[in-house]
Amino acid sequence: MTSHYSGMELLPIAGNWGVGGSPQTLENIDPYTGESLTHMHLATTIDVDDAFAGAAEQQPAWAALPAQKRADVFHRAARIMEDRKDEIVDWLTREAGAIRARAEWEWMAVRAVMLEAASYPSRVSGRILPADLIPGKENRVYRRPLGTVAVISPWNFPMQLSNRSVAPALAVGNAVVLKPSSDTPVTGGLLLAKIYEEAGLPPGLLSVVVGKSSEIGDHLAAHPSAGLTSFTGSTAVGRHLAEQAPLQKMSLELGGNGPLVILEDAPIERAVSAAVFGSYFHQGQVCMATNRIIVDERLHAEFVERLRERVSALTCGDPSDPDTDIGPVINQKQFDAVLEKIDCARRQGADVFAAGSPCGPTGRVLPPHVIVGDNNVATASEEVFGPVATVIKATDDDHALAIANDTDYGLSSAVITADTERGVRFALRMEAGMTHVNDTTVNDEPNTAFGGEKNSGVGRFGGEWAISEFTTDHWISVQHTERTYAI
């Protein structure tokens, strides 16, 4: 039997696992029980510099390896994921507060991205372009890695949202310096480092720096050795990082305010199922969550009642219990922010059709809420990032579309209708990077190529886009015959 990983209080920096250089420490807390999981010293800007220096030293040899050699690392990593499934799922449950089904989905997604990344080394291709004016000349466009990629990831899907950048960046020949959220340092970074190390990734190619964003975040994102910064998080922080390094190449997936539009011909049970999954999966702590449910007035009353019934039957409590549907909100700051938005919506005239008192040892298991209001109440106009859905009435398709698009965000969206092609026509008018038609398990494909519009981000993640994002063109012109030019 494979023994569990140890040393989760240490940071892998430039090929060595050691104590972070800061005297400040981080107590890593289980959001449900309040128990301490790990205790570690934080990284400093000097640690960040060391990580980039180590990456620069090791990256050229890694990029020069035959494609199959790099691919083998990811095949081995996927097998390690299988061998350590229970260990990984347990960490996701205890550190991220993920219910069992959610933790297993994330495990599956991380493994799937590893297998997809294994194909990337042999898919990086260039092209040959003829010259327009000069005989005997050709232009060769080579695709090469950027060098070192900085990755800053959030706490809500910590392992997947780190790995979806780490795996492809490494696969196409880069090194990576990863900063996971301080709420999820193990699942967001240290576990990945252990897995890739066990899979045979050469030391120094993946460093993990755990530290306060205010102290090392800007330094990491704007580091002169970073060929690209991949950031997933809030729009405010993403905009701040872009301002710190305006000439730096960045891929940013930022906030969302996802609308689910239910047209008047929608099958009511399918619509309710889509709403429950979209709004309450992982306590609504998903950037692509359904924040607003926009329902045609002919279905509105029935839909609200059916949703209230379904939501009231959800089980709240210990995320390690397989029967639990709703676990804890990640930390007290986020919990308080969710409650404030609910209270604000009430003051603005919204009605609360489903609610409940917080429970659990830390008091941060918030029962799912159903709020009925308009597009201006706080729970609709702002991203809630909690187990809250706001139902909004629309008079017809055009009104529903106007409500859906009336937001500064454009990450994910959805529509439910009995007529698939009608749904597609509606989806094409929605202002979002992704729209789901009649899908009750929104974005369940881990290798989805995805990005946002408006204030929801810049760049794309996954699929062929990942290869493009983490490599760059090198144009080389070749003259095959001797020529003399008159000046």
Q: Give the residue numbers annotated as catalytic, written as ranges.
A: 253, 287
Task: Find, among 139, 149, 145, 224, the residue nearest to 179 by Cα.
Answer: 149
Structure tokens at 61: 């040899």
Integer angstrom CA distances of residue 125 from 140, 189, 224, 294, 354 = 11, 30, 27, 44, 54
Structure tokens at 455: 């204030």
Within 13 Å of residue 332, how many CA atoms lie on the same side as its CB?
A: 6
Integer angstrom CA distances of residue 217 from 18, 65, 153, 214, 334 = 20, 31, 11, 6, 20
Q: Where are the alpha helices (DSSP H) in 370-443?
A: 378-381, 397-405, 420-427
CA distance 401 to 152: 34
| Residue type present at position 21 | G
CA distance 31 to 93: 9
Tell me how many helices (H) and strands (E) the chain has: 16, 22
Task: Find, among 210, 216, 214, 223, the residue nearest to 178 by Cα.
Answer: 210
Task: With beta carbons less than 8 A apart as the criterion, state whether 415 and 437 touch.
Answer: yes
